[in-house]
């Protein structure tokens, strides 16, 4: 089956066509600046990337260009629209009710709309993408795959905040976690690599510009470091992660900021960017630290320390750990950070293989045979996870 995977933002649309039998990407691309001036990119597997400016007042035009490119006589990978067997849409937030993947129906679209207050930038954009696909491919079956779904197995004691219960019951305030599709993909792959043992305990570190850590018992998510929103948890590229909520009031009073202004700073001007004094890319940070920049080194130290604290707390939450996995931009590519985090974890009997830990971007076991905890680098693939979910659901 050919699965068109769509990831819609308010002014962008990422797409991939995946052959579900071979799990290979046939073509991929990106529509940007939707509603502004419109940029279009398309790349067939093994072919040249084409980029052009195309008018895209709405997501409808963007989807039309995607179909046009995929079925183009010269560079297309499909003969006609009919060769798109199904569409899988990535949805950021499914609230409390949408607990797994679903076939798209009007009721499901209404549910996605109903939890838009939990992801105001994303969910409305996802609906625009679904509507645009429905318009151009009215008879093609579609599925929605939620970033929050994998975390729905977290127990109450993990997802509730210790604040008045009515805020949970009436306003749906709780921990939802994030990067669920990535945590699902990586933990499932780890289980395969472990030989699917019973009672498995896995920790997944999704370390990218946005970063989160999760833990799974028997493949079921128990915890995720993100909270009601993706601001919580680890120190990130530009986000502060865990912070005493009283800092908000303190800064508002002291500096005359609004709450929105403080939260904007916590989201966009904090994290390693703030600590280092201007760098959020870990390649820049590593380079600067190696040249003696103390603030860059401090940012790296804070990042690794916070990550190690989360791992330690999840080892306690699960009363043990068999496997720790690293994924996403930093987790897959940055052996130095992996090493810095694992240095805190030798008390578990964890032993990294320094040579194997040099791996960049490939799946690899990076712990020694003697290590009491297996450590893997597992490249994430959210699009493939969405394609798999879509096919499983529609079959």
Q: Please, are residues 130 and 62 in contact by the beta-carbon 8 Å criterion?
A: no
Q: Give the residue with the Cβ less far from ligand AMP, 2 or 334.
A: 334
User: Does residue 153 belong to the site contacting ligand AMP (CB under 6 A)?
Assistant: no
> How buried is 349 (Cβ within 10 angstroms: 0-12 exposed, 13-18 middle, 19+ buried)?
exposed
Query: Least distance to ligand AMP from the beta carbon of 326, Å?
Result: 11
Q: Which residue numbers are catalytic? A: 147
User: Does residue 185 belong to the site contacting ligand AMP (CB under 6 A)?
Assistant: no
Number of residues that bind ligand AMP (CB under 6 A): 12
Q: Give the residue with the Cβ less far from ligand AMP, 83 or 281.
A: 281
User: Does residue 359 belong to the site contacting ligand AMP (CB under 6 A)?
Assistant: no
* Residue-wise burial string across 238-252, b where 16 or more C-beta atoms lie within 10 A, e elsewhere: bbbbeeeeeeeeebe
User: Does residue 283 belong to the site contacting ligand AMP (CB under 6 A)?
Assistant: yes
Indicate the residue whose CB is closest to ligand AMP: 329
Strands (E), 169-318: 201-207, 211-217, 220-224
User: What is the rounded distance in angstroms from the CA atom of residue 224 to the CA atom of residue 310?
Assistant: 9
User: Does residue 188 belong to the site contacting ligand AMP (CB under 6 A)?
Assistant: no
Q: Please, are residues 199 and 245 in contact by the beta-carbon 8 Å criterion?
A: no
Q: What distances in angstroms separate CA 179 from CA 99, 185, 218, 380, one per listed residue? A: 15, 10, 19, 10
Tokens 């001007």 belong to residue: 269
User: What is the rounded distance in angstroms from the CA atom of residue 300 to the CA atom of residue 273?
Assistant: 10
User: Does residue 360 belong to the site contacting ligand AMP (CB under 6 A)?
Assistant: yes
Residue 50, SS3 per DSSP: strand
Q: Give the residue with the Cβ less far from ligand AMP, 38 or 331.
A: 331
Q: Give the residue with the Cβ less far from ligand AMP, 181 or 371.
A: 181
- Which range, of 3-11, 136-144, 223-231, 322-330, touches ligand AMP by CB under 6 A? 322-330
- Which range, of 38-46, 57-65, 73-81, 281-289, touches ligand AMP by CB under 6 A? 281-289
User: What is the rounded distance in angstroms from the CA atom of residue 176 to the CA atom of residue 230?
Assistant: 9
User: Does residue 329 belong to the site contacting ligand AMP (CB under 6 A)?
Assistant: yes
Q: What distances in angstroms separate CA 298 from CA 148, 161, 253, one per listed residue? A: 32, 31, 28
Q: Give the residue with the Cβ less far from ligand AMP, 6 or 330.
A: 330
Work out the angle at residue 186's Cα, subtended by the Cα atoms of residues 312 and 174, and round it to the nearest 5 degrees.
Answer: 60
Site string for ligand AMP, 192-211 (x = CB under 6 A): ----------------xx--
Q: Please, are residues 280 and 273 in contact by the beta-carbon 8 Å criterion?
A: yes
Query: Least distance to ligand AMP from the beta carbon of 335, Å?
Result: 9
User: What is the rounded distance in angstroms from the CA atom of residue 161 to the CA atom of residue 241?
Assistant: 16
- Considering only residues 226 to 255 of the shown chain, the ones binding ligand AMP according to CB under 6 A are 237
User: Does residue 330 belong to the site contacting ligand AMP (CB under 6 A)?
Assistant: yes
- In the list 282, 314, 326, 376, the residue contacting ligand AMP (rule: CB under 6 A) is 282
- Which range, of 3-11, 44-52, 132-140, 323-331, touches ligand AMP by CB under 6 A? 323-331
Q: Give the residue with the Cβ less far from ligand AMP, 283 or 358.
A: 283
Work out the angle at residue 210's Cα, subtended by the Cα atoms of residues 208 and 213, and round it to the nearest 5 degrees.
Answer: 80
- In the list 281, 301, 322, 353, the residue contacting ligand AMP (rule: CB under 6 A) is 281
Q: Give the residue with the Cβ less far from ligand AMP, 281 or 322.
A: 281
User: Does residue 326 belong to the site contacting ligand AMP (CB under 6 A)?
Assistant: no
Binding site for ligand AMP (CB under 6 A): 208-209, 237, 281-283, 328-330, 333-334, 360
């Amino acid at each position: 089956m050919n699965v068109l995977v769509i990831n819609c933002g308010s002014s962008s649309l990422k797409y991939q066509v995946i052959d579900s039998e071979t799990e290979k990407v046939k073509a991929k691309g990106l529509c940007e600046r939707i509603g502004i001036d419109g940029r279009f990119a398309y790349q067939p597997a093994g072919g040249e990337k084409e980029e052009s400016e195309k008018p895209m007042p709405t997501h409808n035009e963007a989807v039309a260009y995607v179909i046009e490119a995929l079925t183009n006589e010269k560079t297309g990978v499909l003969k006609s629209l009919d060769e798109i067997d199904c569409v899988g849409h990535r949805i950021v937030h499914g609230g409390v009710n949408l607990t797994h993947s679903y076939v798209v129906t009007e009721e499901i679209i209404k549910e996605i709309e109903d939890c838009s207050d939990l992801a105001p930038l994303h969910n409305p954009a996802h609906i625009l993408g679904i509507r645009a696909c429905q318009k151009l491919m009215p008879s093609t079956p579609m599925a929605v795959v939620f970033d929050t779904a994998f975390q729905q197995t977290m127990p109450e004691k993990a997802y509730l905040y210790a604040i008045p219960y009515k805020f949970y019951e009436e306003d749906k305030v709780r921990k939802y976690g994030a990067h669920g599709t990535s945590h699902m993909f990586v933990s499932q792959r780890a289980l395969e690599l472990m030989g699917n043992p019973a009672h498995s305990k896995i920790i997944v570190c999704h370390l990218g510009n946005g970063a989160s850590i999760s833990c799974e018992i028997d493949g079921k998510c128990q915890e995720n470091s993100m909270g009601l929103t993706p601001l919580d948890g680890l120190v990130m590229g530009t986000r502060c992660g865990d912070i005493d909520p009283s800092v908000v009031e303190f800064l508002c009073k002291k500096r005359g900021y609004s709450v929105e202004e403080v939260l904007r700073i916590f989201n966009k001007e904090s994290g390693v960017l703030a600590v280092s004094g201007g760098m959020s890319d870990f390649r820049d940070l590593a380079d600067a630290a190696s040249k003696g920049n103390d603030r860059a080194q401090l940012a790296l130290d804070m990042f690794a320390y916070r990550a190690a604290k989360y791992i330690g707390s999840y080892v306690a939450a699960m009363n043990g750990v068999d496997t720790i996995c690293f994924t996403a931009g930093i987790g897959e590519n940055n052996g130095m950070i992996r090493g810095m985090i694992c240095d805190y974890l030798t008390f578990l009997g964890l032993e990294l293989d320094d040579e194997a830990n040099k791996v960049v971007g490939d799946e690899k076991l990076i712990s020694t045979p003697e290590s009491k905890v297996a450590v893997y680098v597992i490249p994430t693939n959210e699009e493939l996870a969405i394609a798999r979910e879509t096919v499983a659901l529609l079959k």
